[in-house]
Amino acid sequence: QVQLVESGGGLVQAGGSLRLSCAASGTIFSLNTMGWYRQAPGKQRELVAAITSGGSIGGSTNYADSVKGRFTISRDNAKNTVYLQMNSLKPEDTAVYYCNHKNYDYRTTYVYWGQGTQVTVSS
């Protein structure tokens, strides 16, 4: 099992910045991905950004087109923590942001979710 604790959400004006953090604890596989998804009212949950475990060379990243150039995902493997730096925020970024962790072994993917943190961007 993996437990995820998120922090850093809040209310910000358009053009502002926020930094989300998610600390994972429990059984962390060496091969894993951590990421952020979001869900706005009336919409499906969507991937925002993800980063693989990467080992000593660092993880590879993946971003939704809507956040490329504005958001940066990073991780501290020693702390099992993933960060999402969100700059140039827009009202359409308003959503509940969920931390996601996937553990991989040779045949199964184990998926875990955080409780979600609200991000509200005012115009």
> What is the tens place of the pLDDT at every residue in 13-64?
999 999 999 999 999 998 899 999 999 999 999 999 999 987 555 689 999 9
pLDDT at 98: 98
Indicate left, alpha or beta for 33 from its phi (over 0: left) and psi (-120 to 50: alpha): beta
Residue 111's nearest CA partner among 35, 56, 60 is 35
What is the residue-wise DSSP string for 68-83?
A: TTTEEEEEETTTTEEE
pLDDT at 106: 85
CB atoms within 10 A of CB 89: 22
pLDDT at 59: 81
Answer whether 97's CB lies under 8 Å from 48's CB.
Answer: yes
DSSP 8-state code for residue 92:
G
